[in-house]
Chain A
Amino acid sequence: MSAAPVRARDTAVARFRSSFAAKLLLALAGSIAVLLLATVAAIRVQTGRQVAVASERALAQSRKVFAQQESDLRNELQDDAVRLAGSNRLPAAVDEAISSGSTDFLVQTTTYEMSLARIPQALTAYTDPDGRPLVALDGGHALPDPATAVPAPLIAWLMRNDTAFGAFGYHQAGARLYAVYATRLVIFGHAVGMLVVGTPVSDAIATSVGSGVGAEVCFVAGGRCVARTPGVGRGGLQARMVAAAGASGRGERVKWNGHRYQLGADRIATGAGMRDAWRVTAIPLDGVVAPFESIQRVALLVGFGCLGLAVLLGIVLSRGFARPVRALVAATERVAEGDYDVRVEVERRDELGTLAHAFNEMTHGLMLKERYRGVLDKVVSREVADELLKGEITLGGETRRVATLFADVRGFTALTEGMEPQRVIALVNEVMERAAAAVEGEGGVVDKYVGDEVMAVFGAPASHGGDELRAVRAALRIRASIEELNRERTLRGEPVLGMGIGINAGLAVAGNMGSHGRLNYTVLGESVNVASRLCDVARGGEILVVEPFLRSLGDALDAVALGPRIFKGISRPLEVYAVRGVREPAAGAEERARTPAAPIRAASGAVVAGVIAALALGASPARAQNLPTFKDLGVSWTSKNGFWQVTPSGRIDLDGYFPGGAPAWLVPSTRPFVAGRASLFVDLFAVNRVYGLVEARADRGEAPADRPVQARIEQAYLRLTPVPTANFSIEAGKFVTPFGGWPQRHNSVADPFIRPPLPYDYRTMISPFIVPGSAAAFASWKENPGFWRPIGAPIVWEAPYQFGAMAMGGWKTLGFRVGWVNSAPSSEPSEWNPDFNQKHAYSFVAHAGWQVTPELKLGVSYDRGPYLQDSLKGAPLPADENHVSDFDQRLWGFEASFARGPVQARGELLLDQWDVPNIEDPYPSDVSFYAETRVKLTAGLFAAARYSGIRFSRVEVAEGQFERWDYPIDRVQLGAGYQLSRTTEVRAEYMINSTSAPPPENDNLLSLRWSWQF
């Protein structure tokens, strides 16, 4: 809630980081991880190498196959060229075409000649002797632009090289790549033109190249794939292969269709000035890579297995190491706190076992020493014991200036007369405890107890300086402490104690006196005797000093002169003063510094508010808040014959409470805290005769508080309806009281608030444990400041879930419930459970309701039962009524509710009367009430306001004198809620309490709630 847990988590993280466990884990996991990485890296490198070797081999092979293919192609084309150019006909036709300027006849002749030569699908082209394109045919059809079909670089090369018969190369025309052969056409030694024959580089060529090495082949020219093996397809691989053209040699590795390939490119176009054409080969790598991958998979699997094992091993080892270390640390802390009776159980033979054994021996030694020391402390004062333990035990002593204080209880003998011995001892011990605490608090030493008297020394065996003033302060503290004790005793109806105190200072002999077998450190001297005498004469509550002592402190003491006195054994009379107080400057500054740390409270409040606001707003889109219910999930059970049906449901509330600084009645905390409850309801139906309900609840107390979560069965009852058609049932078990108009609505959507109205929340001063001695004493309790006010019973407990039986029924618009339950409506949750030894406590409760109109409903309730508990304290019960069961609480309730449209209004009036021991008629009674309204503003949003109050009656404090037994108190609650979804809701409430009773503390309360019903 506050910043502290966050810091705690941070330090926990930091502690883990620096812990042995973390280092061990890091070392084990780290080395395995490095090994794993190295293995994977090695496999990868080896894979890469193998891929390189295999792909180079396949590329070389494909080059060889292609070279053969290319050579065949070249020979074929050359044969065709020789055949065509070898006859006079084509040269004659070209000659004629050039001289006549018309190519028609050439085309005709060519077609004829080609068909004769059986070269049907070839590319044919002619140029004149200077290389200018004449005509081109593809598959027997003239191309519109012969220039595109003429491989200009080949022609140029041929024109430069007179003696060459022809030239082979590649030429791209349109979407096709041709292998072409150019040759000269000659008649009578005279070149009449050039002939080009070509055949397309077809898919068949790619396939025959690829099949030799099992690779995919793609011929790329002009940035497009012009021929390919069927496996290349039109998708990704083709694009990657086209992209690979442009750089000779091994290219990238690609993945396509689940297969891996190594790409390689070779430039096939030869001859200067030729456009680039490439043969791209994709060598399948699956067969090469697969074995390595399976090795890598196994390595990874084994590696991660080892990693997990290492982490596990690290945890086990470090646990085995950390547990004894933690045990040793815990034991050391206990030793540091002073508990030497601690042993470390480490059943080990290793170094830790040795350490634990040594530790145990050490604590055993310490324990023995401390035990001796403890005995010594009880016999002599701690400081004397220190001196003794230092070994400076000397008989005789030294003369020191000391202040001595004597205090004893006035009239102790009379007080304890007729008292049981145990109670006497208890009383003496309580007084001595308080006196000793005061003395030690001021640095003094309790020298000895003599009966009801305490002797204390300041300045011996060691002086803390200002011993006189310390003695006076100790006396004042004793007096204050006894006054405090007296207040408690008054409440309990016991007589008050008076303590007389005498203080003096002067030279005294201090030392160990007695025999060697039994020494007693003490001080002796006249000044000591004077202090003792002063104590003897001091009245209850008086602190007496003599004039020299007073003077020795200057004007530090506020004292009243009582006149001279003669003391036994003292020669001269001494002026005696009664000390009223110490004049100390600048008192109270310290007090202010101790006020609660308001900023911390504000900060923690803000955190809780943030959490609830986040739940309310952060997660809303409404759908996110639309958490499912058991019904949505279909969780329910029906017996086979349909006789029984069991249906679960639940509700979770998450509350944040922000007290204004003082407890707001049933909320005891003064700091913000988170509470709430989780309830699981199980409904049981048997035909229509039996109904049962069990509610299991976990919360931080019936009334929310900053304490551990507890779980219990809140309700468990069975209801039997003997005649299903008649409106009558009987019910038994633990159920919420039928009394009043609020408990049944408690923790349900019908209640628009988080906290109850005052009558169900305010703790009256009528206590089930403390009995007042008289009406006057009772009436005076209300004046006690906050802390001293008895925390009594509420008028009705927030929502009593009592144990009992009830009958209920109805007729037309009337309904009733009548029952007996095991405790009064005001009784605490501890009284609700069945306790069959508690015979007295049965309480009668009844409720009647009338539905006047569909909108208006009226009800009246009555409850009567004993509220006192057996473990009473304080004044005794009157002799004639000596059973706690004779004292009843009587309670009437009148309620009305009204609903029309978006407005709902409710009101309730409670008349309450108590039988209180030692108080005669008129008995203490009170009137309490509340009125509330709730308005639905929009779908899901409502606002509500409630006013509640209590007025207390007068009791007779003296003959004819009446006084109210408590101040009136009022409460205003303002609330709002929002239905986030079908099942979740948030609401907020601010409560203002107002009373004229003495504690002017701020007991207002801000409450926030998120709830989910499922």
Chain B
Amino acid sequence: MLRNRAAALLAAGLLAPALAAARPRAPVPAAGSIEGHVTFSRSNAARVANRYPGEGSGVSHRAGAVPAVAFIVGAVEGARPERAQHPTLVQQDTAFHPPVLVIPVGTSVEFPNRDPFFHNVFSYSAPKRFDLGRFPRGESRTVTFDKPGVVKVYCEIHQWMRSAIVVVENPYHAQIGEDGRFTIEGIPPGRYRLAVWDFDRGQKLVDVTVPPSGPARVDVAL
């Protein structure tokens, strides 16, 4: 724990001059936005009640809800660089927190276990396949995601645990609300490919032209 904090402090100390240095170049000549609306189809949602019997606890667990995410695919010229703080995907109360994590390419993610029992985090997704094995409370593993794409994360022991890590190359992304709406702002004008992704329904790509000012409106059926 102490070591983690020290590392976090060290990382913050290293990153701070970089963030400070970026700020003077901040004025961006023009910025547009994308305002989207996603229509979720019922058919691709989980068909069976997403409850899993707890192991001997008698408690039913609801499968973790993973929000849908919209993001622009590929690097964006002139985008402001994003420096996320050291991200973690915590296993607590037999669930992953946060339910979805968006990180830039090259970011390392920590997977601390805060439950009083073992977890076995793994992913078979192509951008990053990993299997952290079983580790007990208080231990953590770190994985560096060096390719863009969506990585589905499961626990082998607890089937209802799931999460996703969206590895992006630009800072333009947004979580899609329950009503299907999302807004991505500050995008330089131009043509982009927008990915809309949902854990159960998969991913859909649409081409979007962002004007110099004002929002570009996108409607996607997923």
Contacts and interface: CB of A to CB of B under 8 A. Distances in A.
Contacts of B156: 87-89
B20 interface: no
Contact of A190 (B46, B126, B155, B160): B46
B202 interface: yes
Interface string A827-846: 00000000000000000000
A220 B211 CA distance: 71
A187 B48 CA distance: 10
A87 B49 CA distance: 18
10 nearest interchain CB pairs? A189-B48, A189-B46, A190-B46, A189-B50, A188-B63, A96-B124, A88-B154, A92-B124, A100-B126, A88-B159
A996 interface: no
A95 interface: yes
Nearest to B123: A92
A190 B124 contact: no
Interface string B118-136: 0000111110010000000
B50 A188 contact: yes
Contacts of B199: 188
Contacts of B50: 188-189
B45 interface: yes
B129 A188 contact: no
B45 A96 contact: no
Contacts of B122: 89, 92
A190 B43 CA distance: 10
Task: Indicate the member of A92, A95, A109 with the most B CB atoms within 10 Å.
Answer: A92
Contacts of A186: 48
23 contacts: A87-B156, A87-B159, A88-B159, A89-B124, A92-B122, A93-B124, A99-B202, A100-B126, A105-B124, A186-B48, A187-B154, A188-B46, A188-B50, A188-B63, A188-B159, A188-B160, A188-B162, A188-B200, A189-B48, A189-B49, A189-B63, A190-B46, A190-B200
B166 to A, nearest CB: 14
A100 B45 CA distance: 19
Contacts of A88: 154-156, 159
Interface in B130-188: 152, 154-156, 159-160, 162
A929 B152 CA distance: 140
Interface string B188-211: 000000000001101000000000
Given A89-B122, A96-B126, A105-B124, A191 B200 contact: no
A627 to B, nearest CB: 99
Contacts of B129: 105
Contacts of B48: 186, 189-191
Nearest to A102: B126
Contacts of A99: 202
Task: Indicate the member of A93, A100, A190 with the most B CB atoms within 10 Å.
Answer: A190
A885 B154 CA distance: 153
Contacts of B47: 162, 189-191
Contacts of A162: 47
Interface in B44-65: 45-50, 63
B159 to A, nearest CB: 5
Contacts of B152: 92, 95-96
A95 B123 CA distance: 11
A186 B125 CA distance: 17
Task: Indicate the member of A88, A99, A100, A186 with the most B CB atoms within 10 Å.
Answer: A88
B16 to A, nearest CB: 39
Contacts of B45: 190
Interface string A756-781: 00000000000000000000000000
Interface string A154-188: 00000000100000000000000000000000111
Interface string A299-334: 000000000000000000000000000000000000
A162 B202 CA distance: 22
A88 to B, nearest CB: 5
A158 to B, nearest CB: 14
A210 B27 CA distance: 87
Contacts of B123: 92
Nearest to B154: A88
Given A92-B124, A190-B45, 15 more contacts: A92-B122, A92-B152, A92-B154, A95-B124, A96-B125, A96-B152, A99-B202, A105-B124, A109-B124, A162-B47, A188-B46, A188-B162, A189-B49, A190-B46, A190-B200
Nearest to B48: A189
A131 to B, nearest CB: 16
B154 to A, nearest CB: 5
Contacts of B159: 87-88, 187-188
A89 to B, nearest CB: 6
Nearest to A99: B202
A105 B46 CA distance: 24
Nearest to A100: B126
Interface string B95-133: 000000000000000000000000000111110010000
Nearest to B65: A188
A900 B200 CA distance: 125
A188 to B, nearest CB: 4
A109 B154 CA distance: 15
Contacts of A92: 122-124, 152, 154
Contacts of B162: 187-188
B23 to A, nearest CB: 40
A191 B129 CA distance: 22
B118 to A, nearest CB: 15
A187 B159 CA distance: 8
A92 B154 CA distance: 8
A168 to B, nearest CB: 22
Contacts of B155: 88
Task: Indicate the member of B156, B159, B162, B199 with the most A CB atoms within 10 Å.
Answer: B159
Interface in A35-94: 87-89, 92-93
A262 to B, nearest CB: 51
A96 B162 CA distance: 14
Nearest to A184: B48
Contacts of A95: 124, 152
B165 to A, nearest CB: 14
Interface in A842-857: none
Nearest to A186: B48
Interface in A82-128: 87-89, 92-93, 95-96, 99-100, 105, 109
B99 to A, nearest CB: 12
Nearest to A162: B47
A191 B200 CA distance: 10
Interface string A340-372: 000000000000000000000000000000000
Contacts of A188: 46, 50, 63, 159-160, 162, 199-200
